Structure 1
Amino acid sequence: MTDHNLILGLESRLLNAWPSFDYQAYDGWILRLANGYSKRANSATPFLAGAALDEALLDYMIARFIEANVRPTFRLNGLEAPEVGGLLAERGFQDIEPTYVLAAPLDGDHDPDVEVLLEPEASKHWVRDAAQSYGGDKADDATLLAIVSRIRQKAAFATLRLDDRPVAWGLGVVERGYVGLYDIVVSPDLRGIGLGRRIVGSLMAWGRREGAHTAYLQVREENAIARSLYGTFGFRPAYRYTHRVMPPRS
């Protein structure tokens, strides 16, 4: 059975922890825009159980995406009305990147790593290095800085250094008993040796010190390696969402 209260509670925290530049509300949907940087900040998401979508509203929101030069994207988290997925499919929207939101209790077993630096604000070095390690569409450090600079909740920007070289990064955001973990990334040449684990453990320990009882994060369904890692920290699926994207015009 779908726990709408859990979904809405985590979605609200996610919205605050990863701000967009523009928010528009449409009959139970929040349309977010951030210059195309990350789908979660550039999509329409239901924020009301049973949020409906008809042809007229769909056309209107599509037009808002196109005006902003952002690919029309709907992020379906289980709060939407049952017929929404079918309507989007009929209009040619493609189902991509199924993602789990995972949650784990903070039971005090995690200790901060002395080599992980936690800062309350994003430095230019943190933004530049994290963006470069992500690469691809997420290599835009200027937009990443603009997003994380808008966070109004208490945050910790984590950097792990080895031999004075920054090699792994992450972001924790605390709000109302939960700590969200975002942008966990390791330098491409050092992946697979446990550096991400040290970032995750430190941010979970920090969240507990800040009063959080639960940690949450998002991971793509296809990323079996990351899901296995998070499982060792006690993370279990809270819910699942998918992106429905408009196919590119021929």
Structure 2
Amino acid sequence: MNNKKVIQKIEELSINALPALETELVDGWILRFSNGYAKRANSINPLYPSKYEIKEKIEDMQKIYRSKNLKAVYKLTENVFPHDLDVILEQEGYELDGLTSVQLLSLNEVSVSPAANAVNYSYLNDKWFLDFCKLNNIKETDQATLKKILQNIVPEVCYVTLLNDNNDALACGMSVLEDEYIGLFDIVTNEKHRSKGYGKQLIYTILNWGKENGAKNAYLQVVLDNRPALNLYSKLGFKEEYRYWYRIKS
């Protein structure tokens, strides 16, 4: 699979892994709307070839998102249509934001086992959700939207928490399995218990679940200014496949 096909594949998988509350396909571009929660769930994804005149189309996107009281946010990779879209958006006053590394790992190359204190759920468990929101500092006003997004996931999901003896969350995260790829999302460690190996234990638990359920590859997304996470994923064998970033009207 060449790089462009890999990009399209992972982008499609990640869209399915975090389904927007509303989605619209316009001339090859996927428009996502989720009450403003998370840029990726409220973004324009130019994944497929388009025919409309580009500057008129950009204006149309502005109008569509403005009608929903949202900023027009573009999620871009090296494989977008048209190929010079990033340059055009920059010229139109869209600022760069959120440069992110998308990394892959072949599960044939790793031997992993689950943590003894890990709890897995195949459904959206209330305690997991509360712990997840607390560790990720999800605003109370966004929690209802997030819950709807998670409830709308179609592929198989694994929600994981590492607990201490007091039943407190040490780390938590989630993964989505589709077409032999397992995506890891929002891996977070309790700030009181960082640098103790809990993030690694959580990831091993997720990867073990993925392998047991037929996954052959794992992918994740990490912003480039998160040096601790980049170091951890590198030690685990993840390698950058491509990058994505956002363009947002200033």
Q: In the alignment, which residue of structure 1 is the partner of 2:7?
A: 7
Correspondence for 1:223: 226
Superposed CA RMSD in Å reads: 1.8
Q: Which runs of 5+ in 2 are unaligned?
A: none
After TM superposition, the structure 1 = structure 2 runs for residues 1-250 of structure 1, keeping only pairs within 5 Å, are 3-48=3-48, 54-80=54-80, 81-107=82-108, 108-135=110-137, 140-163=142-165, 164-247=167-250
TM-superposed CA distance for 1:19, in Å, is 0.7
The superposition leaves residues 157-185 of structure 1 with CA deviations (integer Å, 9 ceiling, x where unpaired) of: 00110122122111011100100001111
Paired letter, 2:178: E
8 A Cα contact 1:29 1:51, kept in partner: no
Q: CA deviation at 1:24?
A: 1.1
Query: CA separation in 2, counterparts of 1:49 and 1:55?
Result: 15
* TM-score, with length taken from structure 1: 0.93
Q: Cα deviation per residue 1:119-163 (whole Å; 9 max; x = unaligned)?
A: 001112211221121116587322221111111111100011012
Q: CA deviation at 1:49?
A: 5.8
Q: Partners of 1:182 and 1:49 in 2: how far apart?
A: 28
Aligned-partner Cα distance in 1 for 2:87–2:115: 47
Greater shift after overlay, 213-222 or 129-138? 129-138
Structure-2 separation of matches of 1:22 and 1:188: 33
| Matched pairs, number | 246
Question: What secondary structure is seen at the aligned counterpart in 2 of 1:189?
Answer: helix
Deviation at 1:90? 1.7
Q: TM-score, normalised by structure 2?
A: 0.93
CA–CA separation in structure 1 for the residues paired with 2:50 and 2:24: 18
Moved over 4 A (4+): 49-53, 136-139
- Pair 57,242 (structure 1): closer, same or farther in 2 beyond 3 Å: same
Segments of 5+ residues of structure 1 without an aligned counterpart are none
Residues 179 and 52 of structure 1: is their aligned pair in 2 closer, same or farther, counting only changes over 3 Å?
Answer: farther
* Secondary structure class of the residue paired with 2:186: strand
Shift of 1:82: 3.0
